[in-house]
Amino acid sequence: DTGVSQDPRHKITKRGQNVTFRCDPISEHNRLYWYRQTLGQGPEFLTYFQNEAQLEKSRLLSDRFSAERPKGSFSTLEIQRTEQGDSAMYLCASQRRDSPYEQYFGPGTRLTVT
Amino acid sequence: AQKITQTQPGMFVQEKEAVTLDCTYDTSDQSYGLFWYKQPSSGEMIFLIYQGSYDEQNATEGRYSLNFQKARKSANLVISASQLGDSAMYFCAMKGSARQLTFGSGTQLTVLP
C-alpha cells in the first residue's frame, strides 16, 4: 500500500494558462474524490468518481474545470484559462467501495496563479 | 445541507496535557458519520477517528477519543497526553447521504514544550 500520490506537488502558472494535475489512488480503491482547499479553510468537494464514471460534480466546478478517470485508475484535473482565484491546494482522496467511511488523502498539489 | 462548525481558530496546550477540540454539526440525515483529520504543515490530511451516528459508544483510537453527544449535535475530539508532534491543523468532517465529506474550517493546535 503506497498511499495516494499526486503530481506535481507545486505548480506556479500565469493567469490564463492551462494546468493539469494527476492523482494516483491506492490500488483497488474504486472511489476517487477531488477537493479544493484555500488558505485557512477546510477542503471543499469538487467531484467524485466511481471507477471511470464521474458521478457527482460540485457547483464549484465551473466549466473551466474538467476531470477524468479514463480507466478507473489514475485521475486528472484540468483547469483552463486559470484565474488568480484558482490559487489553492487541490487534494485527491480515494476509498474502497466496501469501506463505509474512510477516505485516504494524497499530499495535494499547491497551485499558485500569478 | 450539511454544516460543520469549529469555533476555535487556535488552541494551545502544554505537552503531556489533554486538550479538547470542539465540533458541532447540522444535518437532516438520520444516518451519518463524523470524522476528524489532522493536517500537518506538509499538507496531507491524516485520518484520525470515526464515529457513526448509530454507534452507542464513543470512538477511541489510541490517544484520540471522540466525545459524541447526538442530542447536542457535537463531536468533540479529545487528545490525551499531548505531544509536540500533535501540533497541526485539525478538521472535523461529516458524511451523510452524500458520498463526499463536508469539512469545518479547522482548529490550529499548538503544543507547547
Question: Which residues of B fall within a CB distance of 8 Å from A43?
Answer: 45, 91, 101, 103
Q: What percentage of chain B reaches a pLDDT higher than 90? A: 88
Q: What is the distance, to the nearest Å, from the Cα of residue A77 to the centroid of all Cα atoms in its chain?
A: 6
**Residue A62 pLDDT:** 87
Are residues B4 and A42, on separate chains, in Cβ contact within 8 Å? yes
pLDDT band (50, 70, 90) for residue A1: low
**Residue A100 pLDDT:** 64
B69, B56 in Cβ contact below 8 A? no
Give CA–CA dist B79/B85, Å, rounded.
12
Q: How far is A48 from chain B, CA to nearest CA, in Å?
A: 8
What does residue A109 show for φ and ψ, rounded to 5 degrees? -120, 120
B43 reaches A (C-beta below 8 A):
yes
Rounded to an integer, the average pLDDT of A74-79 is 97
Mean of pLDDT over chain B: 95
Cell of B113: 514544550
User: What are the pLDDT digits (tens) for B5-43?
Assistant: 999 999 999 999 999 999 999 999 999 999 999 999 988
Q: For residues B103 and A103, which has the higher predicted lDDT (pLDDT)?
A: B103
Q: In the predicted model, is pLDDT for residue A99 greater than 80?
A: no
Rounded to an integer, the average pLDDT of A73-93 is 96
**Length in residues, chain B:** 113
Residue of A103, A110, A111, A112 to mutate for B, most B C-beta atoms under 10 A? A103
pLDDT band (50, 70, 90) for residue B75: very high
Measure CB to CB from residue B101 to each of A45, A100, A110 and give the nearest one: A45
Q: Which of B68, B67, B62 is nearest to B82 (CA)?
A: B62
Residue of B32, B92, B101 to mutate for A, most A C-beta atoms under 10 A? B101
